[in-house]
Structure 1
Amino acid sequence: MPATTPTTPPATLALPSGVPHLLRAVERYFARLGSQFAAAVTYFSVLAVIPVMLFLFSLAGVVLTVARPDLLEPVAAAVADAIGSADPAARQQILDLISSALGNWRATSVVTIISAAYAGAGWMGNLKNAVRAQWRPEFDLQDNPGGNIVVATLKGYAVNLVQLLALVLAMLVTFSLASVSTSLTGTVLEALGLADVGWLRPVLRLLPVVFSIGAGFVLFLYLYTVLPETKERRSVVRRGALVGAVGLAVLQYLSTFLIGRFSGNPAFAIFGSVIALMLFFNLFARLILFMAAWIATADHPAAPVREGEAAEEVVRFPMVGAEDPAPPPAKPVAAVRGRGSGWLLGTATGAGLGAAVTWWLVRRR
């Protein structure tokens, strides 16, 4: 029998460990309808803004008519000045309307509280379902609470409302720190008498950014601890929360820059605030869901492989022994475009459309 020469396997390109993980996260995000869930969260976010604004208006009425009635006239005058009415009669009518609306908080408080609580709890429930769709091992696995459906529904709304209040508190802290980092640096330096010290200005600009990322880290850590049904490794959750916090900080400063850049544009002044709000909600929802997919695929495949499928793969490709016939030659097949190319194509198309809209708004100024 002639001696056989051992063959060496062909050299393969070794990828960094994070690249396969990223590809698994991208595959799960699109396979679990991440963009569609983000669009749904955006819709419910905009829908919940009106009841929340009515609730805040009622709360302002409580503060300005009960706690601090001395501030009612200055606030009404500031609103009338912002509207810009030159007619004294029209200005007085605006002042009377504001005072009457704020003083009628008792009649509207109950309705606004109920509507805001219902809309907010529903929004939190939709966000929870979207995160769990990316997190659970199998996409079609649904939780069944069992028991009385009415009691389970009311309990779910109560839990969602408590979780929403904690989330709103974390978001207020995050956005407050971002606002401080962009607008109050000069004021702090002048108040401390250190405006002439050059090296303190970049330090004061950097510290609020660090605090904002820290608050965002707490926000994402809270989301990925409370919303999912199952728990993942804490180290992976912390890394995902940190990456999400950095992405949220970039999104915040980008939104602030764009709003300040186009605030003087007449076309942007009409629809810009609504468009900017919807864009922020959509990108924020996409960030939350993608990082949930990234955390969930750290130790698991993008799509679970069942035992029957694994056995079928073993039978389909048996081991070739010394006495077995050689396998048939491979036939060329047409390549199939994968999700990665479609994802890159969609990203490039979105970036091009965004650049075109930005160029058009600059030309309109």
Structure 2
Amino acid sequence: MPVIASLRRGAGALMDAVKAVIAALRARWAWFDHLGRAYERYQDRGGDRLAAAMTSYGFLSFFPLLALAYALLGYLVGLSEKARDYLIKAIEELLPGLSGPLEVQRIAESRATIGVFGLVALVFTGLGWVRVLRESLRGVWGYEPAPEGNWFVLKLRDVAVLIFLGTTLVVSVAVSSVASAATQSVLDVFGLADVAGARTMLRLLSLLVAVAFNTLIFLVLFSRLSGTRAPWLRILRGALFGAIGFEALKQVGTLLVAHTTRNPVYASFAVLVGLMVWINIVSRFVLFAAAWTATRRVVLKADDQPDDPADEARPAKHGPAKHRPVENRSVENRPRREHRAEARRTA
């Protein structure tokens, strides 16, 4: 039909114009080109599919982890009422908009039974989540999903990663919560309660503390689970990118989750759906941050991913080829200098 054909031509022309603008921006700004390469890596490695697997295991791991945290802090409530308030605030920061319907007090009162359940269930579901996270990060980097090594040693390593992540998150939230709660007291002690901008500076300091802990988490994830050969100093900028993005994501996540939980279609399942949406958003961002880190030039060089297509025919320097990252060498993903070299050869 003429109308449909006209619409298709218009849509095609619009897409060509958008691609031309994006290509011009990538040629002009290196940081924008890096974002483009990261997006291409994320799509080529099936980032959405990997994030879906992480969401499934993360959703199953969340409730045992939450139950164990409540059980541990349920005992602390008897010693300090502020512990419960800090816990609620921590959940609100990690799960924006979802802490209200979770009935914190009732879970804390059942700390003995829930603690046993949480510990046993966390061992199974938590290790499964770490395994999927490791396979996803290795997939983004281009390595085989399962690393070589003793099965028992790998499980011990996964347990160590799980303990590290849990401890770092708890310490991060605790420090951030204490810093936020102590803002007024600090201002009063130093006589800065009426000074303009003093409260904002303290809040920024609290935010910087959270970013520092998040950077440490991303640094460990990217350097220890991805299989990369790049030293941690070359991974640091990617970890900082992930940490800052995660803090920004938490602010936006409040609106996204609130919109999901208010949807009448989900009814009584709104909290569960909101939780899955949030975990999926975080999982996608973690993998995109991994793609952004993996496509940095210094990381590509450390991982022995050749810039020259002729290098692909050479023997691997660090072992069998199956353990080297396999980079997508399509035309649109080649570095710009490859295009220039090809143009000189055909001229």
Q: Any residues of structure 2 matched to 1:331-346 within 5 Å, and which?
A: none
SS of the counterpart of 1:232?
coil
- CA offsets, 1:22-54, max 9 Å, x none? 322211111111111111111111111232234
Alpha-carbon distance in 2 for matches of 1:70, 1:230: 44
SS of the counterpart of 2:28?
coil
Q: Any residues of structure 2 matched to 1:118-197 within 5 Å, and which?
A: 118-136=124-142, 142-145=146-149, 152-176=150-174, 179=177, 185-186=183-184, 188-189=186-187, 194-197=192-195
- The equivalent residue for 2:209 is 211
Structure 1 runs not aligned, ≥5 long: 1-11, 76-81, 84-93, 146-151, 322-365
Distance change >3 Å, CA 118–CA 201, structure 1 → 2 = same
Match of 2:44 among 31, 34, 54: 31
Alpha-carbon distance in 1 for matches of 2:306, 2:179: 39
Q: Contact between 2:211 and 2:247, CA under 8 Å: does it hold in 1?
A: yes
Structure whose residues are more often helix by fraction: 2
- CA offsets, 1:242-269, max 9 Å, x none? 111110110122334667x779969599
Between the two proteins, the alignment pairs up a number of residues equal to 271
Match of 1:295 among 260, 277, 293: 293
- Percent identity of equivalent pairs: 27
Q: Contact between 1:28 and 1:302, CA under 8 Å: does it hold in 2?
A: no
Shift of residue 59 of structure 1? 3.5
- The equivalent residue for 1:51 is 64
Q: Which amino acid aligns with 2:60?
A: L
Q: Which amino acid aligns with 2:45?
A: R
Q: Contact between 2:136 and 2:145, CA under 8 Å: does it hold in 1?
A: no
Q: Contact between 2:70 and 2:108, CA under 8 Å: does it hold in 1?
A: no
Alpha-carbon distance in 2 for matches of 1:303, 1:290: 22
**Which structure has the greater CA radius of gyration?**
1
- CA offsets, 1:285-306, max 9 Å, x none? 1122112222222234699954
Match of 2:54 among 41, 55, 62: 41
Structure 2 runs not aligned, ≥5 long: 1-22, 86-99, 315-327, 330-337
Q: Contact between 2:223 and 2:232, CA under 8 Å: does it hold in 1?
A: no
Alpha-carbon distance in 2 for matches of 1:279, 1:236: 32
Q: Which amino acid aligns with 2:148?
A: N
Alpha-carbon distance in 1 for matches of 2:277, 2:306: 28
Q: Which amino acid aligns with 1:144?
A: E
Q: Contact between 1:37 and 1:130, CA under 8 Å: does it hold in 2?
A: yes
Match of 1:17 among 30, 35, 41: 30
Q: Which amino acid aligns with 2:296?
A: A
Distance change >3 Å, CA 187–CA 280, structure 1 → 2 = farther
Alpha-carbon distance in 2 for matches of 1:30, 1:16: 21
TM-score (norm 2): 0.62
Match of 1:247 among 245, 248, 256: 245
> What is the alpha-carbon root mean square deviation over aligned residues?
4.5
